[in-house]
């Protein structure tokens, strides 16, 4: 009984993100990933063939999403591959604009200001039609919310 109680306590906070092992996608090329990507919230990311990137209204991932900032700017990107699958690593090198997704209620503690440098890790996946999609997790990892980017219409 003691072992079960200890095991339950250890796994009580373990959500889907904490055990996420990747998409298992290993066959995507950088040329396939390059191009325009969008999100229903008005986010737009352009990954250029030369490894540079331009993005507009990109939210923070994981718990940073809760701070409500949205960054626009330029940066770099690369497609990496590990045991769990491929990941697009995007790094902000020049922030050009900061917006707020929502207003925070007045509290004793204000959320931290937006970062001047930031890095995202987008998992590479395919939908039921074999079309690429990019995503990262946001918010509380126990919930497993995903921020999905799809190929920009017309790209």
- Ranking 16-30, 47-61, 98-112 by mean pLDDT, the lowest is 98-112
Mean pLDDT of the residues in the chain: 85
Is the pTM of the predicted complex or chain greater than 0.85?
Answer: no
Over residues 120-130, the pLDDT tens digits come to 999 999 999 99
Nearest to 48 by CA among 75, 71, 26: 75
Q: How many CA atoms lie within 13 A of 22 on its CB side?
A: 14
Q: Are strands 132-138 and 35-38 parallel, antiparallel or unpaired?
A: unpaired
Contact 60, 83 (CB under 8 A): no
Asked if pLDDT for residue 141 goes beyond 90, the answer is no
What pLDDT score was predicted for residue 12? 44
């Amino acid at each position: 009984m003691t072992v079960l109680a200890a095991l339950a306590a250890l796994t009580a906070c373990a959500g889907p993100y904490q055990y996420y092992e990747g998409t298992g996608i290993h066959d995507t090329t950088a040329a396939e990933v390059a191009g325009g990507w969008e999100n229903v919230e008005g986010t737009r990311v352009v990954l250029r063939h030369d490894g540079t990137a331009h993005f507009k209204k990109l939210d923070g991932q994981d718990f940073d999403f809760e701070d409500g900032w949205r960054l626009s700017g330029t940066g770099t990107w690369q497609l990496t591959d590990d045991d769990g699958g491929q990941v697009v690593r995007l790094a902000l090198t020049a922030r050009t604009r900061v917006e707020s997704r929502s207003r925070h209620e007045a509290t004793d503690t204000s959320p931290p200001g937006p970062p001047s440098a930031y890095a995202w890790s987008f998992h590479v996946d395919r939908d039921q039609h074999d079309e690429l999609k990019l995503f990262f997790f946001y918010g509380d990892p126990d919930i497993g919310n995903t921020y999905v980017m799809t190929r920009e219409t017309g790209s």
